[in-house]
Structure 1
Amino acid sequence: MSGYKSSIAFGVIGLGRFGFALAETLSDNRKEVIVLDNNESKVKQIQDKVQQAFVIDQLDKPTLEEAGIQNCGTVIVCIGEHIEASILTTLNVIELGVPRVIAKAISAEHGRVLQKIGAEVVYPERDHAVRLANSLTTPRALDFINLSNQYAISEIKLTDKLHGKAILELNFRNKFGLNIIAIVRRNKTIVEISPDLQLNTNDLIAVVGTKDSIVKFERYLIS
C-alpha cells in the first residue's frame, strides 16, 4: 500500500452506509477524498469516484500513516458499531495531527468519549451523511436542506461584499440564480423581501435554488 503523499481535503474511514454515502457525496461535490475500509468489495465499489481507496486490515497508527490519512484536512471516522475500534481509530487520527476529526457515535456515552479525546461527534443515518457533506463543501452555510438531487434551501451568512446594496441593484435572482425567502437581521426575521431592501454584513439569508448556484454564491462571497 502506498499512501497519498500530498494534501487532500477529506478522509473517510469506514464504508458502512453512512461512510459510503458521505464519501460519495463529497466526491459528487468535486472534493478530493481518500477512503479506508477492511471490506474489499466496498472499496471496489467506490474506488473510481475518489482519489485513493485502500483496503486495510488494521487501524493502528502506522497503517493509517502509510495510507496517508495524516495529509487530510478533515477526517471522518465512520466506525460507529464497533465502539472500541471507533475510539482507538479516532485517537490515532488525532495523534497523527489531522486538523479536524469528526467521528460517528451510536450512543450518548460513545459520543462523550469521542468528544473528550478531541473529536467532533455526529449521530447519523444516511440522510444526515448527505447533509454533513453539503455543509462541509459550503463553508459559509449555516444550514442546508435537500429538496431533491438538484435543489436545496441554504441559510448563508453574508460578508461585507454585499453590504449596503439593494436586492434590485444586485439583480440577485438573475445574477446568482437564487431566490431569497427570508432574512434574519439582529434576531429579527424578515419574510417580506422588497426589491429596495438593502443587505448588511452578517445578515443571515435563506435562499432556495440549485446546489450548484448555492456553491457559486458561496464562492463569490469569499472571493
Structure 2
Amino acid sequence: MANNTRSVLVVGLGRFGSSVATTLDAMGQDVLAVDKDGELVNRWSSQIPTVQADMTDVMALEQINASDFDTAVVAIGDSVEASVITAGNLLDAGISDIWAKSVSKEHARILQRIGARHIINAETDAGKRVGHLVSGNYLDYIELEGAYSVVKIHTPPHVVGYSIEDARVHERFGITVVGVKSPGKEFEYGSKELIMHRNDELIIMGKQDQIDKFLRG
C-alpha cells in the first residue's frame, strides 16, 4: 500500500499549503503547487513543482490539466470566496477527493455543502500532518518533539497473521507497535503475543524513515 503514489494538486502556497506540498513531495508523491502570486511561486519553485495560475478561473484549470489529478488540496486562506470558487471548479473538473482548508465554521459549512470531502481546520491541523494523511498511507499522524512520529495505519500485508514478536517488528524496522484496534473490538496494547490481522488498525511509533520502511516491508 505504501508505494501508491497519487497525484495531488495543492492550491495556495501560504504557510499551510507550502507545508502540505513539501511534505507530500518529500514522501515521493506527485505534487503540483499552484498560486496566483508570482512571488510565492518563485520562492518555492526550486523545491517543488510549481505553476502560477488563478484557480478561480476555469480556463486556468484547463491549462494545467487539473482533471488529471487524483486529489486536490485547497489551501487558500485569505479569501473565502476564492477558496469556495476554486473548490467548486475542481469538483466540476472531476476531482472528487478534495481537501479544503477552512478559516471559520461558516466557511467549512459552505465547503461541505458544495462537496469538499475533507475539511481541514487550519488552526489545529498542521500542514505536515495533513500532507501525511492526504498521501493515503496513514489513517492518522501525530508528530512528537524530536524525530519521532506516532501514526495509525492498516496492517501492512507482510506482517498480517504474525504476532508482534514473530514479525520481529522492533528488531527489523526499529518501530514500536503501541497498540492494535481490531474491527468491533476494544483497543489492545501491543504485547509481544498480539497477532496483527488484515483489517486491524495499528498505532505505531518510530522515526519517519523507519515507519516508511515498515509500510513497504
TM-score by length of 1: 0.84
Could you say what secondary structure the match of 1:86 adopts? helix
Greater shift in the superposed pair: 167-176 or 155-164: 155-164
Report the equivalent of 2:29.
31
Instruction: Give, as a single letter, the amino acid of the residue that structure 2 aligns with 1:150.
Output: A
C-alpha distance 213-159 of structure 1, shift in aligned 2 (>3 A) = closer
Listed as ranges, the gaps of 5+ residues in structure 1 are 1-6
Instruction: Give, as a single letter, the amino acid of the residue that structure 2 aligns with 1:12.
Output: V
1:38-187 equivalences under 5 Å are 38-51=36-49, 53-57=50-54, 59-120=56-117, 121-125=119-123, 128-137=126-135, 139-148=136-145, 150-158=147-155, 161-185=158-182, 186-187=184-185
Q: Is the 8 A contact 1:21 1:126 kept in 2?
A: no
1:216 to partner: Cα distance = 2.5
Could you say what secondary structure the match of 1:79 adopts? coil
C-alpha distance 181-42 of structure 1, shift in aligned 2 (>3 A) = same
Q: Is the 8 A contact 1:162 1:199 kept in 2?
A: yes
Q: Is the 8 A contact 2:155 2:200 kept in 1?
A: yes
Between the two proteins, the alignment pairs up a number of residues equal to 211
State how far apart, in whole Å, the 1-side matches of 2:55 and 2:190 are. 57
State how far apart, in whole Å, the 2-side matches of 1:14 and 1:149 are. 28
C-alpha distance 48-113 of structure 1, shift in aligned 2 (>3 A) = same
Listed as ranges, the gaps of 5+ residues in structure 2 are none
Q: CA RMSD in A?
A: 2.3
User: Between Structure 1 and Structure 2, whose CA radius of gyration is higher?
Assistant: 1
Instruction: Give, as a single letter, the amino acid of the residue that structure 1 aligns with 2:44.
Output: I
Could you say what secondary structure the match of 2:107 adopts? helix
Q: Is the 8 A contact 1:21 1:129 kept in 2?
A: yes
Q: Is the 8 A contact 1:167 1:199 kept in 2?
A: yes
1:91 to partner: Cα distance = 0.7
The runs of 4+ residues in structure 1 deviating greater than 4 Å are: none
Report the equivalent of 2:8.
10
Describe the superposition over 1:56-105 as per-residue Cα deviations: whole angstroms up to 9, x where unpaired. 25631111110222221111111133111111111111111123111111
1:22 to partner: Cα distance = 1.2
Report the equivalent of 1:4.
none
State how far apart, in whole Å, the 1-side matches of 2:212 and 2:37 are. 33
Describe the superposition over 1:105-127 as per-residue Cα deviations: whole angstroms up to 9, x where unpaired. 11111111111111121111485
Describe the superposition over 1:148-187 as per-residue Cα deviations: whole angstroms up to 9, x where unpaired. 4632111222266534322222111122221112222343
